C-alpha cells in the first residue's frame, strides 16, 4: 500500500511539474500570458508548435521563431492533419508561421524563402497573403524594383454581340513582380495571391443593349492598367421576310423558287431551309437568300430559320401545294389556308360535288393577314414576368412597317411575309388582362391590324409544399460573441421565411438530425451530404462564417451549399457596422434573404412540350435564362381545378385551386426555353401534358 502511495505521489509531481515546466518561458502582455500550452509541455514537435503559436499571438516573434524552428526539426512538413498521438490530430503549419515571424522581424529575404517553401508543401490563402505582404514591403524599402505597370498578355476581344445577359470575361495579365488584383467592371475576380502571370474568368450581368466592359489589373506596387471593350447584349431574333412565294401558293411545277431576306440591327449570320444553309454572312444587317425547293405532290412544308450574330433564331413555316391548280383538292387546300381554322365544314367522301361547290363559293383571298402563334386569346398565359409575342404578317405587297403595342419591329426585310419574335416584360406578376395590338402597313398603304386580349394568370400557389425547403445551419466565427451569432441566425431565418418564397426547417428538428449526422463530416463528404439533405428534406444548406471587423463590426459570408452534391453553389455576403445594433443585424439578414431570393426566383410558367411519361419524362418549360432559373432547382407541376359556380345565379362561390401533380428538376436553362425532368408524381395516373401550369420551388 505504501509503495502504491509513493508511486501515485511521484506521478502527481511529474504531472504538476510538467504543467509548470520552464515557467521562465511564459511572457505576459496587457494582463495576458503567452508562450503557454494546453496541458503538459512534452518537449515534442507539437508542443513547440503550440507554444510558438501562443508566442506569435502575443507578438513575441523571436521566441515564436525559435519554437517553430525546433518544431520543424521534429516534423518538417506543413499539413492540415498531423497526428500527434493516438487518434489526436492537429493542423500543423510551422514553416508558414516561421515565415510570419521572419516578416515581422524584418528579415524579408528569409521570410520570402520560408513562405515559398510553405506554399510548396500546402497551398493556403494565408501564405499567399503573407508572401504578397513581403513583396510589398520590399518594394516600399527599395529592395525590389517595380517600374512597370501590369500588362494584359492579349488585348481583350473586340466589340462583340452576345445573346446572354451573363457574360463570361476571360483575361490574361502579366507583371514582373506580381499581379495583385484583377477587376471586371469593378467586380474583383477571385485569385489566390499575386502571380507574375495569371488568367482569370469573371461573369458580369448586363441588360439588353450596348455596354462598356472595363478590365483593370493592379500590381503589388499599386500601378494599374485598364482596357475597355464594347459588348452588345442582343436577346431578340432577326426579322425574317419572304418575298416569294406569296402564301398560299398552288403550283403545278415540281420546284419552286424561294426568295427572301433576314434583317437584324446587329447583323445576320445565316439563313437555312430545313437545316440546309442557303445564305451566310459575317454579320451583314440584311442577308438576302434564294433557294430552289423541290416539291412533292400535295402539301409541302418548309421551315426557314435565320440566326443573328448573337445566336438568336427566328423561324417561319412555308407551305406550298404541288398539283393541278384547277383540281378540287388544290382548291380545297387553298381555301383552308385562307380561312381561319374551323371555318370550313367538310362533307363526306361520297359527296365530291358538294366539296367542289364549297371550294368555289369560299371567300376570296384576303389582302393580307396577321397570324399570331403566341399568345393565344383562348388560353390563359401562365408566365409571371414576360409575355412572348411571336407570329408573322403576310400581305400581297412588301411590308413597310410592323409594330407591337406601338413599338416598331425593326428592322424589316420589306418582304410580303415577315416573321417576328418579341419578349414583352410584364409590369406586374398579378392576374390581369394584357392587350397585344399589332399593326402592319405594306408598300401600297394597306393597313392590317390585329388585337388580342390575353388573360395573364400566373399560378398563385403559396402552400408549404410549394416553398423551397432550406436549412439554416450554424452562424459562428473565431472571436465572435455567441449571442451576436445566434441573433443573426435567428433574424436570417425570419427574413428568409417572411416572403413565403422559402420554408426553413424547424430548429429543434434540425438539431436532432444534425446530432445524428455530424454536420462537419457531411459537408466534407458528398455522399453524406446527400443523405443529410434527404433526412432534412432541404434543397440547400445555409452556413454563416462571421469575421470581426473594426471592433464593433461583423462581416458575414453565407455559403449556399447544394444538398445533392455538397458543392458551394454561391457565397452571399453582408456587413454590419455595429453588431450590437438590432436594426443593423435585421438589415443584414434582409440583405442575405434578398440575395438568396434573387438566386432562386419564384416563377410561374407552363409546360411547352413533353417527351415520355411518368417519372423521368423530359419537359420543355417556357422559362429562359433571362428569367433567372437555375440548374438543379426544382419545380412543381400543378392542375387547375374548376371554380365552384352557383348553377342558378352563375355566382363564383370559390375560385379555382391548384393541385400539385408532381415535381421536376431543372436540367438546363436555355435562351428560348428550359429543359426539366420529372422526379415523381403525387397523383396516381396523372398525365403531364403540354400547357400544364408549373411554379418554381
Q: What is the pLDDT of residues 182-232, one digit of tens each?
A: 888 888 777 778 888 888 877 788 888 899 988 898 999 888 888 888 888
pLDDT of residue 72: 94
Q: Domain residues for 675?
A: 604-696
Q: Say what the pLDDT of residue 320 is.
A: 92
Q: So what's the pLDDT on residue 107?
A: 94
Q: Do 318 and 398 fall into the same domain?
A: yes
Query: Are 301 and 407 in the same domain?
Result: yes
Residue 217 to residue 684: CA distance in whole angstroms: 59
Rounded CA separation 53/49 (Å): 6
The whole-angstrom separation of Cα 641 and Cα 659 is: 7
Say which CATH number the domain at 174 has. Answer: 2.60.40.10
pLDDT of the residue at 685: 67
User: Pick the residue with more confidence: 651 or 667?
Assistant: 667
Comparing 14 with 93, which gets the higher pLDDT?
A: 93
Domain end residue (candidates: 76, 107, 141): 141
Q: Do 292 and 431 fall within a single domain?
A: yes
Q: Quick one: pLDDT at residue 117? A: 94
567 and 481 in one domain? yes
Determine, yes or no, domain membership for 9.
no
Give residue 632's region: left, alpha or beta (phi > 0; psi -120 to 50): left
Considering the domain architecture, whether residues 537 and 490 belong to the same structural domain is answered as yes
Question: What mean pLDDT comes out for the span 247-251?
Answer: 87
Cell of 431: 392576374
Place of cell 455522399: 527
Q: How confident is the model at residue 24 (pLDDT cuts 50, 70, 90)?
A: low
Please check whether residues 290 and 435 belong to one and the same domain: yes
Sign of CA dihedral 215, 219, 220, 223: negative
Q: What is the pLDDT of residues 66-115, one digit of tens each?
A: 999 999 999 999 987 788 877 677 778 899 889 989 999 999 999 999 99
* Least reliable range by pLDDT among 40-49, 54-63, 402-411, 559-568: 559-568
pLDDT at residue 627 is higher than 90: no
How far is residue 139's CA from residue 415's CA, in Å, rounded to a whole number?
68
428 pLDDT exceeds 90?
Answer: no
As a 3-state breakdown, the chain gives helix, strand, coil percent values, each rounded to 5, of 25, 40, 35
Q: Residues 254, 385: one domain?
A: yes
The last residue of a domain, from among 592, 627, 646:
592
pLDDT for the residue 531: 56
Kindly report the pTM of this predicted structure.
0.56
Report which of residues 562 and 289 the model is more confident about: 289
Q: 683 lies in a domain?
A: yes
Once rounded to an integer, what is the mean pLDDT over residues 55-73?
92
Amino acid at each position: 500500500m505504501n509503495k502504491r502511495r509513493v508511486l501515485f505521489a511521484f506521478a502527481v509531481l511529474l504531472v504538476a511539474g510538467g504543467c509548470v515546466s520552464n515557467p521562465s518561458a511564459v511572457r505576459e502582455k496587457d494582463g495576458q500570458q503567452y508562450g503557454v500550452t494546453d496541458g503538459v509541455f512534452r518537449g515534442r514537435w507539437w508542443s513547440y508548435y503550440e507554444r510558438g503559436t501562443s508566442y506569435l499571438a502575443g507578438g513575441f516573434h523571436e521566441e515564436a521563431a525559435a519554437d517553430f524552428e525546433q518544431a520543424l526539426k521534429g516534423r518538417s512538413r506543413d499539413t492540415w492533419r498531423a497526428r500527434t498521438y493516438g487518434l489526436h490530430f492537429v493542423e500543423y503549419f510551422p514553416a508558414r508561421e516561421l515565415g510570419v515571424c521572419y516578416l515581422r522581424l524584418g528579415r524579408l529575404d528569409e521570410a520570402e524563402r520560408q513562405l515559398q517553401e510553405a506554399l510548396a508543401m500546402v497551398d493556403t490563402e494565408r501564405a499567399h497573403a503573407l508572401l504578397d505582404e513581403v513583396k510589398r514591403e520590399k518594394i516600399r524599402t527599395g529592395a525590389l524594383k517595380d517600374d512597370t505597370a501590369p500588362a494584359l498578355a492579349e488585348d481583350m476581344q473586340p466589340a462583340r454581340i452576345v445573346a446572354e445577359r451573363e457574360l463570361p470575361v476571360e483575361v490574361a495579365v502579366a507583371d514582373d513582380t506580381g499581379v495583385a488584383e484583377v477587376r471586371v467592371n469593378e467586380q474583383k475576380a477571385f485569385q489566390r495571391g499575386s502571380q507574375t502571370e495569371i488568367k482569370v474568368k469573371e461573369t458580369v450581368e448586363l441588360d439588353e443593349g450596348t455596354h462598356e466592359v472595363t478590365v483593370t489589373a493592379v500590381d503589388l506596387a499599386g500601378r494599374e492598367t485598364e482596357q475597355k471593350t464594347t459588348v452588345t447584349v442582343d436577346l431578340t431574333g432577326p426579322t425574317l421576310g419572304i418575298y416569294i412565294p406569296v402564301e398560299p401558293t398552288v403550283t403545278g411545277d415540281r420546284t419552286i423558287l424561294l426568295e427572301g431576306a433576314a434583317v437584324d440591327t446587329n447583323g445576320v449570320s445565316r439563313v437555312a431551309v430545313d437545316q440546309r444553309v442557303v445564305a451566310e454572312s459575317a454579320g451583314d444587317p440584311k442577308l438576302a437568300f434564294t433557294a430552289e425547293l423541290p416539291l412533292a405532290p400535295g402539301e409541302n412544308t418548309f421551315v426557314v430559320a435565320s440566326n443573328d450574330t448573337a445566336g438568336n433564331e427566328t423561324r417561319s413555316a412555308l407551305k406550298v401545294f404541288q398539283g393541278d391548280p384547277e383540281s378540287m383538292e388544290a382548291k380545297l387546300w387553298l381555301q383552308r389556308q385562307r380561312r381561319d381554322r374551323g371555318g370550313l365544314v367538310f362533307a363526306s367522301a361520297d359527296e365530291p360535288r358538294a366539296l367542289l361547290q364549297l371550294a368555289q363559293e369560299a371567300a376570296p383571298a384576303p389582302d393580307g393577314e396577321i397570324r399570331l402563334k403566341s399568345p393565344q386569346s383562348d388560353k390563359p398565359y401562365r408566365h409571371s414576368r414576360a409575355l412572348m409575342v411571336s407570329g408573322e404578317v403576310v400581305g400581297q405587297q412588301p411590308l413597310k412597317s410592323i409594330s407591337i403595342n406601338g413599338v416598331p419591329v425593326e428592322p424589316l426585310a420589306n418582304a410580303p411575309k415577315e416573321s417576328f419574335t418579341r419578349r414583352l416584360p410584364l409590369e406586374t406578376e398579378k392576374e390581369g388582362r394584357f392587350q397585344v395590338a399589332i399593326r402592319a402597313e405594306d408598300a401600297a398603304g394597306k393597313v392590317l391590324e390585329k388585337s388580342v386580349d390575353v388573360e395573364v394568370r400566373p399560378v398563385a400557389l403559396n402552400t408549404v409544399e410549394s416553398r423551397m425547403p432550406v436549412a439554416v445551419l450554424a452562424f459562428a466565427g473565431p472571436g465572435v460573441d455567441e449571442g451576436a451569432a445566434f441573433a443573426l441566425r435567428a433574424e436570417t431565418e425570419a427574413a428568409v421565411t417572411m416572403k413565403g418564397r422559402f420554408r426553413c426547417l424547424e430548429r429543434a428538428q434540425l438539431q436532432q438530425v444534425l446530432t445524428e449526422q455530424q454536420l462537419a463530416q457531411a459537408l466534407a463528404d458528398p455522399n453524406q451530404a446527400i443523405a443529410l439533405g434527404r433526412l432534412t428534406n432541404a434543397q440547400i444548406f445555409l452556413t454563416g462564417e462571421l469575421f470581426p471587423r473594426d471592433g464593433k463590426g461583423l462581416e458575414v459570408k453565407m455559403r449556399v451549399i447544394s444538398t445533392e452534391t455538397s458543392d458551394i453553389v454561391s457565397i452571399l455576403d453582408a456587413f454590419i457596422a455595429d453588431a450590437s445594433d438590432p436594426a443593423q443585424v435585421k438589415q443584414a439578414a434582409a440583405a442575405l434573404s434578398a440575395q438568396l431570393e434573387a438566386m432562386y426566383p419564384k416563377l410561374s410558367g407552363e409546360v411547352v412540350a413533353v417527351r415520355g411519361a411518368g417519372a423521368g419524362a423530359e419537359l420543355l418549360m417556357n422559362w429562359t435564362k433571362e428569367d433567372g432559373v437555375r440548374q438543379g432547382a426544382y419545380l412543381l407541376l400543378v392542375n387547375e381545378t374548376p371554380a365552384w359556380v352557383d348553377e342558378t345565379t352563375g355566382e363564383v362561390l370559390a375560385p379555382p385551386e391548384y393541385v400539385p401533380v408532381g415535381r421536376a428538376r431543372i436540367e438546363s436553362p436555355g435562351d428560348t426555353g428550359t429543359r426539366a425532368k420529372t422526379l415523381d408524381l403525387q397523383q396516381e395516373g396523372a398525365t403531364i401534358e403540354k400547357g400544364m401550369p408549373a411554379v418554381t420551388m
